[in-house]
């Protein structure tokens, strides 16, 4: 099974710049005709979005919202990677000013991953928590849940054909269809209404019901 080379990914600021270039190229080539706002009540009650306007920044950061909202497994994964690999993910999402969109798995989604027999078979050991998974793998998975810039529901969920979302994990993407389903490389997940369009000072959070994987187990 192929694994992703992480040597060029530890400088996350440089990675974010590269991802921004990729996303901007994608917008020019194919996204423009697909970014029409979808007036689905279950996605958002925000009048700004219903009027086709962008979602304004919130008052607190992505990491602060994740901590306050009880995404303890996601937050724990960020701290674990920082501690093991010397990255600065927590600082980037807590104090950073660059804008990101995070597809945030619930605690139940992480538990389902830990309980996966396929993951246990792949690692050759029982998985009871995030620290039982190699930090390099966790970093890849975390970056696969983030895309550059502020992308509210009107820029994520298509009206018709599935929309491709480029991620911060170099060279990877996933698709979102009109039924709120995410088609990742290794599995699927669903956006969880109404917990989408959570606006932070440095981005937007969309809650999802599974940890999406950049590899097939």
- Return the CATH number at 155: 2.30.180.10
How do residues 47-103 score in pLDDT, each as one tens digit?
555 445 678 899 999 999 999 999 999 999 999 999 999 999 999 999 999 999 999
- Report how far Cα 64 is from the mean position of its chain's Cα atoms: 16
pLDDT band at 217 (very low <50, low <70, confident <90, very high): confident
Look up the domain containing 69 and give its range.
Answer: 12-208
Instruction: Taking residues 161-186, report their average pLDDT.
Output: 97
pLDDT at residue number 186: 96
In this prediction, residue 112 carries a pLDDT of: 98
Asked whether residue 33 is domain-assigned, the answer is yes
2-22 pLDDT, tens digit per residue, is: 334 333 444 444 444 344 333
Number of domains in the chain: 1
92 or 40, greater pLDDT:
92
pLDDT of residue 2: 36
4 in any annotated domain: no
The residue-averaged pLDDT of 145-151 equals 97
Given the structure tokens 């809650």, which residue do they identify? 207
Helix axis angle, 72-85 relative to 107-114, nearest 10°? 60
> 3-state SS of the chain: helix, strand, coil percent to 5?
40, 15, 45
Domain assignment present for 55: yes
What pLDDT sits at residue 53?
60
pLDDT at position 72: 97
Query: Could you give the CA distance from residue 39 to residue 106 in angstroms, rounded to a whole number?
Result: 25
Inside any domain, residue 216: no
Q: Give pLDDT tens digits for 104-135.
A: 999 999 999 999 999 999 999 999 999 999 99
């Amino acid at each position: 099974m192929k694994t992703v080379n992480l040597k060029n990914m530890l400088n996350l600021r440089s990675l974010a710049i590269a991802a921004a270039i990729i996303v901007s190229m994608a917008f020019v080539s194919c996204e423009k005709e697909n970014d029409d706002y979808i007036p689905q009540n279950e996605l958002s009650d925000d009048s700004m979005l219903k009027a086709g306007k962008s979602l304004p920044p919130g008052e607190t950061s992505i990491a602060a919202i994740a901590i306050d909202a009880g995404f303890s497994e996601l937050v724990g994964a960020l701290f674990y990677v920082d501690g093991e690999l010397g990255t600065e993910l927590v600082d980037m999402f807590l104090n950073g000013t660059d804008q990101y969109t995070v597809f945030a798995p619930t605690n139940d989604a992480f538990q389902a991953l830990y309980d996966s027999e396929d993951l246990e078979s792949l690692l050759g050991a029982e998985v009871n928590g995030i620290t039982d998974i190699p930090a390099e793998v966790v970093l890849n998975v975390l970056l696969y849940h983030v895309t550059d810039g502020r992308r509210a529901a009107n820029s994520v969920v298509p009206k018709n054909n599935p929309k491709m979302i480029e991620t911060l994990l170099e060279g990877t993407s996933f698709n979102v269809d009109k039924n709120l389903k995410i088609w990742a490389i290794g599995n699927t997940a669903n956006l969880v209404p109404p917990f989408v369009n959570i606006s932070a000072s440095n981005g937007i959070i969309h809650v999802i019901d599974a940890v999406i994987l950049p590899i097939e187990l």
